[in-house]
Amino acid sequence: MHEPDFVLVQDYRPPPRIELARERMLMCRLYLGLIRSMTDDYGAAFAGHNDSSTFRTIGIYVFLRTVMCSPVSASRIAQALKLPRVVVVRRLQEMVKHGYVERVGNAYRVTDKVNIPDLKNKLQRRMDMIVETARKLSELNSSAALVPVANEDRQESRTSVS
């Protein structure tokens, strides 16, 4: 039987040994949904790299710095993301090769290739995912406050943010 990609939290009972499991399940679902939407939007060429999570993370950081009107050097990216500089440079070179990023002096910024078709609707779907996840997390947090827990320390860990 094929399991759905994105599960409804109420359909599963996570193992009790995993703290804040339902909340973490929702966050995982959100992360995976956002990653999948990037793959859908930018295509297999963008996602088809050996280390696509690092590739995406660097791309997201360059995008952020571009919209802040602050192109960023490879060294700064490596420092900010806690990645080896050689890895950052290699991934930036791949992004330049595919036209997603351009070099300006010794800094990098995204190109107009980030302006994908139907961007407004795609961005709205991502925002809806985030809002829905926040709503469900809030519901879980509210219901967790109502459930008595034998150990008060455990109750505190269920409602605090780490």
Is residue 47 a part of any domain in this protein? Answer: yes
* 10 pLDDT higher than 70: no
58-75: per-residue pLDDT in tens? 999 999 999 999 999 999
Does residue 80 fall inside a structural domain?
yes
Kindly report the CATH number assigned to the domain that includes residue 102.
1.10.10.10
Is 62 within a domain? yes
Annotate 91-108 with DSSP letters as a single string: HHHHHHHTTSEEEETTEE
Domain assignment present for 125: yes
When divided into structural domains, the chain yields a total of: 1
Lowest mean pLDDT among 5-19, 84-98, 126-140, 144-158: 144-158
46 is a domain residue: yes
pTM beyond 0.75 = no
What is the rounded (10 degree) CA torsion for 65, 70, 71, 73?
-90
Could you tell me the residue range of the domain that residue 39 belongs to? Answer: 18-133
Asked if residue 156 is part of any domain, the answer here is no
* pLDDT of 150 higher than 80: no
Cα distances (angstroms) measured from residue 126 to each of 6, 36, 43, 146, 154 = 14, 10, 16, 31, 33
Question: Is residue 143 a part of any domain in this protein?
Answer: no
CB 14: neighbour CB atoms within 10 A?
14
- Residue carrying the six token digits 């009972």: 13
User: Is residue 26 one of the residues assigned to a domain?
Assistant: yes
pLDDT digits (tens, 9 = 90+) for 93-148: 999 999 999 999 999 999 999 888 888 898 898 899 999 999 999 988 887 766 55
